[in-house]
Structure 1
Amino acid sequence: MKSGGAAATPSKPAAAHQSPRRLLAAALLALSASAAGVETITGGQYAAPVEHYGHFALGRPHEYARLTVSTSNGQRHSLELPEDAVFEDLAPRLVTLAAGEPPELLAIVSQRDSGSRLALIGLRDDRLVISAQSPPIGTPMRWLNPVGVADLDGDGQAEIAAVTTPHRSGTLRIYRRKGKRLLEVAALAGVSNHVYGSSELAMSLALTIAGQMQLLVPDSTHLRLRIIALHDGQSGVA
């Protein structure tokens, strides 16, 4: 049965009056507001110099018990190492290994019984933790010096390059992160990027040559520079 009079027009839900562009803008605004509240590391420094390790590859006072960081929210956090370990380093390096990942700090940690290792330190649940690390050198009073952090094979994930034992038979080692481990993926002997007791760490670097990220590292005599590239997971002189 039809009712008399003009037919009523059904009312549309309120959301139907909003254009897709306006809805997208609102969603992006909400997302950016959420991201703005994420706390990330913006810098760090070592504190609490100690004497109990006593190697001093960089000279005094560059062995420290504590790392202090600042964050995007204006907060400060600290990480204290156990008694048998020190940060044997000048300053932590702010790094991001892949797009979309939060920045972390790359540090050199030296252990009384096993020497130095690389450590990535990140912010988890409002506290600092060692999120990934390389195997230690394995011998006390043996040190390593990072070369740089760069995407050496073009896969979008940065590798970490360092010279282990640069004061004696130095070896360039390239590490790739896998979970909580920094795994060695390539190595090349006969290099050195540090003089014992010096605070100069910039004898080597990563840079783009002929469209590929490569490493410049002195040989073991410090008389020649070697240009080193990563090819098919192996390092070699370019």
Structure 2
Amino acid sequence: MDSYNISRHPTTLWIQFECEYVVPNDGFVLAVCGSIPELGSWNASAALIADQQLKESGKWVAGIHLPANSTFAWKWVVLQRPNLTPYRWEETHNRIAILGEHNGKFLAPWNTEMAFDVVPFTKPREDSIWTDDDARQLKTLLNLIAQHNYESSSLEEPKVQPKNQPATIVGRGILDIILRIPRCVGAMAMSAFELIKNKLVSLWPGRHNQEDDADRDLGTWV
């Protein structure tokens, strides 16, 4: 439980140290050195190295877990790389830190009085803690996603029409026209035949009447 920092009386706290100081060049770095082992036990080469927030900004921050309900002394020190040898210590008196049971940060400008801002401890909800059941559910979900991706990739890709498809379509069109020609010619021939037949039929009654008249005339003479 202590690893989650949710016990009623935490054994360690997250403490930050902040300072504004402009080092001579990139060969120098700011560090926190103090009386407890976590801060080097006044050994500058084992001090807590701070990080500059932006290059040449002069804003330095160092963070570390320290024992709760503890008291220690500390100072800023400028170290020279690469051996981390002390270049300059704060000229002020030793800073005395008294920790309780709250996380926080020390605002300590160089050679200036420091202030401590408390970061209130908030116990997380029990349902927000990661459990073994959550891990199993996540593993099952990941397996389902992986199986779905595999099945999707295994599906047969749609067939791509060949590049000569337009020529094939044209060829099929020509073939259809050729196949339709006999039907068209046959229909035209049938239409012409019907026309000629109708014409002959229309003429036939007149011809038949003329022959009958000729027969009657011949009979008269006879």
Max radius of gyration: which structure?
A: 2
Q: What TM bracket, shorter-length normalisation?
A: under 0.3
Q: TM-score, normalised by structure 2?
A: 0.26
Structure with greater strand percent: 1
- Structure number with the bigger relative contact order (C-alpha 8 A, sep ≥ 6) is 2
Structure with greater helix percent: 2
